[in-house]
Amino acid sequence: MVKRPGQATKSSASGRPVMVLLEALGKRWALRVIWELSNNNPCTFRELQSLCEEVSPTSLNNRLKDLRQLGLVELTSHGYALTNYGRSLSDLLLPLDRWANDWADWLA
């Protein structure tokens, strides 16, 4: 069951929205699904499974269910797609991606 803001999580008894979000995004495959949908929007289940490489159908189904309950992903007539909130979240990940690439170059 996915937690919602205001509900206690493993890391926050208060259920602060940022803690609920970080817990949800910390689940295996959650960020990968958002990342792939941000670049390949919309996707059928099979397309998304292929993009996520080794994800099992059960794990992908569970993550999609969680992300849909959180209002980040929706099922359209063309497949799974990011909602407006999902798209705004993926936009926030782009600076993190740039930072990670710079960091990797620095470490090399």
Range(s) of the domain holding residue 37: 17-107
77-94: b (≥16 Cβ within 10 Å) or e? eebbbbbeebeebbeeee
pTM: 0.88
> How does residue 4 score in pLDDT terms, banded at 50, 70 and 90?
confident
How many structural domains is the chain composed of? Answer: 1
Q: Looking at residue 23, which CATH number applies to its domain?
A: 1.10.10.10
Instruction: Examine residue 31 and state whether it is found in any structural domain, yes or no.
Output: yes
Residue 9 has pLDDT above 80, yes or no: no
> Is it the case that residue 7 has pLDDT exceeding 90?
no
What is the distance, to the nearest Å, from the Cα of residue 51 to the centroid of all Cα atoms in its chain?
Answer: 14
pLDDT in tens, 41-61: 899 999 999 999 989 999 999
**pLDDT at residue number 41:** 82
Whether 39 maps to a domain, the answer reads yes
User: What is the per-residue pLDDT across 14-31, written as a single tens digit (0 to 9) for each?
Assistant: 878 888 888 899 999 999
Take residue 63 and report the two structure tokens written for it. 């993550």
**Alpha-carbon span 33 to 64, nearest angstrom:** 8
